[in-house]
Each structure stands twice: as structure tokens, then as C-alpha cells.
């Protein structure tokens, strides 16, 4: 048996690593005796399997708050396979609503407004 490996990264849309993502490996080539196996990504979003039989595999990834993804690859005896994932969020990253009254002039008062964005800016009076 020639040993092979599959490794890769799991990142979000902004290239940030996703730690703790569940990554699964399923053999696709006939005759592979490798059972379905799973691992999780480290703090850098990395995962790896080694000592695999040469052949076709499907790598799948699942992380809370992100869409799932899968990719088929061939793990060769000479060159390990690399499968990187860029997951997209299922919901926007941040959504904040403010109902604090905002005075726009001495004569007009806005009683409610909705603000959407990813950054919070602290103000002073």
C-alpha cells in the first residue's frame, strides 16, 4: 500500500481561519478499505489526514453559522492532495438595531432608527 495524505484550510469569506469546523472524509474509489473518518480544524483552520490509501475521496466541511461544502479529490502516493474551503455565512455577521432617540435639531426628533453595519463607533456628547 502506498500511503497518501489530504490536508487543507477552512476559511471564511474574509480569509479568516475557522477553528473547530467538522471535516469529514469518505472514500469514493472502489476497493478502498478506509472507513468514513472525521476531524476538526485547529485554531489556524488547518486539517489533515495521513497514511491514506491512494484513491478518490470526498472531503466535506461543516461549521456553525456557515454553509456546508464538499469537494472530491484524488490523493496520490507521491503528491498529497490539498483541499481548501472558503465558507460563506448563513446570516450576516452583525446586525444591530438602535431605538435610542436621536435629536437632529431643536425642532425635530427621530424616535427610532435602524443601523446596520459591522463596526461599532463610540461617540461623545
Q: Report the Cα 59 to chain-centroid distance in Å.
A: 13
Strands (E), 30-87: 37-40, 46-53, 55-62, 69-75, 81-82, 85-86
CA distance 25 to 58: 6
Per-residue pLDDT reduced to its tens digit, 70-101: 999 999 988 889 999 999 999 765 555 545 55
Per-residue pLDDT reduced to its tens digit, 2-50: 689 999 999 999 999 999 999 999 999 998 877 778 999 999 999 999 9
pTM here? 0.69
CA distance 42 to 12: 14
pLDDT category of residue 106 using cuts at 50, 70 and 90: low
CATH of domain 3-86: 2.60.40.1120
Amino acid at each position: 500500500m502506498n500511503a497518501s495524505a489530504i490536508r487543507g484550510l477552512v476559511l471564511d469569506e474574509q480569509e479568516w481561519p475557522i477553528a473547530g469546523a467538522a471535516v469529514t472524509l469518505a472514500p469514493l474509489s472502489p476497493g478502498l478499505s478506509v472507513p468514513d473518518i472525521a476531524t476538526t480544524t485547529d485554531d489556524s483552520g488547518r486539517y489533515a489526514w495521513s497514511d491514506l490509501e491512494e484513491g478518490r475521496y470526498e472531503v466535506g466541511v461543516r461549521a456553525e453559522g456557515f454553509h456546508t461544502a464538499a469537494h472530491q479529490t484524488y490523493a496520490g502516493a507521491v503528491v498529497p492532495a490539498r483541499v481548501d474551503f472558503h465558507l460563506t455565512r448563513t446570516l450576516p455577521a452583525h446586525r444591530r438595531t438602535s431605538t435610542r432617540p436621536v435629536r437632529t435639531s431643536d425642532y425635530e426628533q427621530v424616535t427610532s432608527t435602524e443601523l446596520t453595519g459591522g463596526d461599532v463607533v463610540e461617540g461623545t456628547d
